Amino acid sequence: MTTEEILIDKDQLSVWLKEKRPVTVLDIRPLKEREEWLIPGSIHANVYDKLKANDPAAFDGIELPDNQPIVTVCGGGNLSVTAAEKLQDKGYKAFSLQGGMKAWNFAWNTAELKLANAKVIQVRRSSKGCLSYIIGSGSDAIVIDASLDPQVYIDIAKDNGWVIQYVTDTHIHADYLSRTRELAQATNAKHVLIDKASVEYPFVSIKSGEKINIGKATLEVIHTPGHTLESTSFRLGDDAVFTGDTLFVNGVGRPDLKANQDEANEKSKMLFQSLTQLLKLNENTLVLPAHISEAVAFDNKLIGETINNLKNKLDMLKLDESEFINFAMSRIPPTPPNYLTIATLNKQGTYEGYTPADLEAGANRCAIA
Ligand SMILES: [Fe+2]
């Protein structure tokens, strides 16, 4: 095998996982890096230091399935080539994931929700757990929180007979570079944002309570500040509500980023009030958030919970205002890597000169759970 042939790219591995082909994804990074992000279903071999030292016995004593391909994965796709070569020497059919986790950062899959007057497609960036949405009805569609190359959304819309009429973000993201502006430019869609959004590029301003018509469906704009001051939710009748980073299926949005202690307290209070507002929606409304805190499997299962399930499941939603503020302030996770740069670039609406894979590497940390 040549070096070319030993490589498998992220799209090919995505197809294998989607088609449930038998494959062993073997993560050779140091174990602590897996705590940050990983490929769903992957297993780990503690060989990093040995491979670095070019130890010929790196895989001795490690039993792997020999009846299916093995794809080795590291951070950037270099050491995984060495790993795959060593496994091939042992008789395994081994490949190396080209570009490693940095490339896998852009792997994605989808899940669908079919409604009477609309279809919702949840587009999931598998490793980071970023969830964006295309809501289509008739021949129209809106994209919320685009986090992947515009072509991904354009192709999905085309496959469904939709034209992307609107694009929007639920807030100014700090965990990944929003691709919403690029998507607007690529499609000529209207770039709508809540009037509270403080960004440095032109957009079509929408107010809380305003409605956006998509074919036969209507999205209502709800200002839900707290995670950020401009955070917005979009309600699709009694069927679904797109909550951004305000309400997740396992927690709520962190209120502390870019804030001092007093401001974070104030934002926690706003978050409590926004959550109270969301929890008053019809109890069967499906909450569809902008993130999930673990890697998204290639299982086509929609990530979402009804308002009723969340009320029962999340104890933090049962707290009163002061208890909630204390709870939120005591459970703040470490800040996301590069969040100030990412938030600044998202405000500017351009990331020219930056490499998204470098800025975005690592898990999302927008949640308090
Ligand atoms: Fe966020």
Q: Is 210 exposed, middle or buried (0-12, 13-18, 19+ CB in 10 A)?
A: middle
For residue 231, report the distance from its CA to the centre of ligand 1, in Å. Answer: 9
For strands 211-214 and 217-223, give the pairing.
Answer: antiparallel
For residue 177, report the distance from its CA to the centre of ligand 1, in Å. Answer: 11
Give the domain ranges of the chain. Answer: 3-103, 108-368
**Which whole number is the average pLDDT over 204-218?**
98
pLDDT band at 1 (very low <50, low <70, confident <90, very high): low
For residue 223, report the distance from its CA to the centre of ligand 1, in Å. Answer: 15
Closest by CA to 196, choosing from 228, 237, 244, 220, is 228
pLDDT band at 215 (very low <50, low <70, confident <90, very high): very high
Answer yes or no: are the C-beta atoms of 81 and 39 closer than 8 Å.
no
**Which whole number is the average pLDDT over 309-333?**
94
**Which whole number is the average pLDDT over 217-222?**
98
For residue 245, report the distance from its CA to the centre of ligand 1, in Å. Answer: 5
For residue 255, report the distance from its CA to the centre of ligand 1, in Å. Answer: 9
pLDDT at 3: 59
For residue 320, report the distance from its CA to the centre of ligand 1, in Å. Answer: 24
For strands 286-289 and 252-253, give the pairing.
Answer: unpaired
Q: What are the tens digits of pLDDT across the range 248-270?
A: 999 999 998 877 888 899 999 99
Q: Most distant CA pair in the chain: distance in Å? A: 65
What average pLDDT does the chain have? 94
For residue 367, report the distance from its CA to the centre of ligand 1, in Å. Answer: 8
Q: Rounded to whole angstroms, what are the CA distances from 215 to 103, 117, 133, 163, 204?
A: 36, 8, 16, 10, 19
**Which whole number is the average pLDDT over 281-306?**
96
Q: What are the tens digits of pLDDT across the range 114-137?
A: 999 999 999 999 988 999 999 999
| Rg of the chain in Å (alpha carbons) | 22
Predicted confidence (pLDDT) at residue 337 exceeds the cutoff of 90 = no
For residue 70, report the distance from its CA to the centre of ligand 1, in Å. Answer: 35
Predicted confidence (pLDDT) at residue 332 exceeds the cutoff of 80 = yes
The share of the chain scoring above pLDDT 70, in percent, equals 99
Please compute, for residue 291, the number of CA atoms within 13 A of its CA located in the half-sphere on the CB side: 26
For residue 77, report the distance from its CA to the centre of ligand 1, in Å. Answer: 29
Q: Rounded to whole angstroms, what are the CA distances from 281 to 233, 284, 342?
A: 12, 8, 32
pLDDT band at 2 (very low <50, low <70, confident <90, very high): low
pLDDT at 128: 87
pLDDT band at 368 (very low <50, low <70, confident <90, very high): confident
> Quick one: which H or E segment has residue 220?
strand 217-223
pLDDT band at 292 (very low <50, low <70, confident <90, very high): very high
For residue 164, report the distance from its CA to the centre of ligand 1, in Å. Answer: 24
Q: What are the tens digits of pLDDT across the range 10-52?
A: 999 999 999 999 999 999 999 999 988 899 999 999 999 999 9
Q: What are the tens digits of pLDDT across the range 46-82?
A: 999 999 999 989 999 999 999 999 999 999 999 999 9
Third-level CATH fold of 3-103? Oxidized Rhodanese; domain 1 (3.40.250)
Type of residue numbered 140 = D
For strands 140-144 and 163-168, give the pairing.
Answer: parallel
**Which whole number is the average pLDDT over 86-97?**
95
Q: Is the pTM of this model over 0.75?
A: yes
Predicted confidence (pLDDT) at residue 100 exceeds the cutoff of 80 = yes
Strands (E), the chain: 7-8, 24-27, 43-44, 70-73, 94-97, 108-114, 119-125, 130-137, 140-144, 163-168, 190-194, 204-206, 211-214, 217-223, 232-236, 240-244, 252-253, 286-289, 305-306, 367-368
For residue 168, report the distance from its CA to the centre of ligand 1, in Å. Answer: 14
Closest by CA to 282, choosing from 311, 303, 321, 247, is 311
Answer yes or no: are the C-beta atoms of 171 and 339 closer than 8 Å.
no
Architecture per CATH, domain 108-368, reads as 4-Layer Sandwich (3.60)
Dihedral, CA of residue 157, residue 160, residue 161 and residue 167, to nearest 10 = -30
For residue 170, report the distance from its CA to the centre of ligand 1, in Å. Answer: 9
Predicted confidence (pLDDT) at residue 105 exceeds the cutoff of 80 = yes
Tokens at 331, concatenated:
């459970």
Please compute, for residue 170, the number of CA atoms within 13 A of its CA located in the half-sphere on the CB side: 30
Predicted confidence (pLDDT) at residue 86 exceeds the cutoff of 90 = yes
pLDDT at 143: 98
